[in-house]
Amino acid sequence: MADYQTIRAGTGTRSAAIDEGLRAHMNKVYGTMSVGLLLTALVAWAVGTNEQMVQAIFATPLKWVVMFAPLIMVFAFGALINKLSAAGAQLFFYAFSALMGLSISYIFAAYTGISIAQTFLVTAISFAGLSLWGYTTKKDISGWGSFLIMGVIGLVVASIVNIFLGSPAIMFAISVLGVLIFAGLTAYDTQRIKTDYIQHASAMDQEWLGKSAIMGALNLYLNFINLFMFLLQFLGNRE
């Protein structure tokens, strides 16, 4: 990655054009992410408040398919992004968002609706603050990336292991680390989306910009969902 300070200095003479394009790019990122979150919430609510559907999915082996399907789609998205058009990538993202809603729909059967709404509000406020800091800070936080990704891998492994162990202590530790890691990733990914745009702005490849916005939306969407789910472990009141 190009030196962050060099990028910042280089934008001084062309700030007007780049800032205008950057605002449009970030609006696209946040807009796409917001639609994805809305789809996730609608699907999760529709399924999670239907007792028969919850039983049909989460009381049978089908739950394993539903739980791991979004992870498979994320890897597939990364592999296919170069082959997909911007419109195709956006459609893929929305399909993924709907599937994610299905996979977390059990929360409406496990937690009270009020606690879910309160946790969502806390998550939204926290996410907005972290993303704003990542966008405006003059500090280069690109070095956080490798440590945060290692942390995510550790969380995934520990979560899979704890599915079989069922340890409350391990789950608590995973939740604490999860909140910290995805809080850091929210700021890191926001800055990375910004610097990636600045690096490629001169080319003005509209197809690339479209795909880049969708990938950025996916990264921030995943940070939001994971931050919400880990906070729900602390703030959610169980039925």
- Separation CA 76–CA 95 (nearest Å): 12
Q: With bands split at pLDDT 50, 70 and 90, how would you rate the model's confidence at 60? A: confident
The per-residue pLDDT for range 162-221, each reduced to its tens digit, is 878 877 888 888 888 999 999 999 999 999 999 888 877 666 566 777 888 999 999 999
In terms of Cβ atoms closer than 10 Å to its own Cβ (0-12, 13-18, 19+), residue 171 is middle
- Whole-number pLDDT of residue 11: 43
Any idea where the domains of the chain sit in the sequence?
4-235
- Whole-number pLDDT of residue 122: 95
- Separation CA 152–CA 223 (nearest Å): 11
Structure tokens at 210: 């479209």
236: DSSP letter: P
- Separation CA 19–CA 25 (nearest Å): 10
Structure pTM?
Answer: 0.87
Res 7 pLDDT > 60: no
- Whole-number pLDDT of residue 203: 61
Amino acid (one-letter) located at 134: G
Instruction: Tell me the β-bridge partners of 111.
Output: 238
Q: What are phi and psi of 58, to 5 degrees?
A: -95, -5
- Of all residues in the chain, the percent with pLDDT exceeding 90 is 42
Of the candidate ranges 4-8, 13-17, 167-171, the one whose mean pLDDT is the lowest: 4-8
- To the nearest whole number, what is the mean pLDDT of the chain? 86
- Separation CA 64–CA 69 (nearest Å): 8
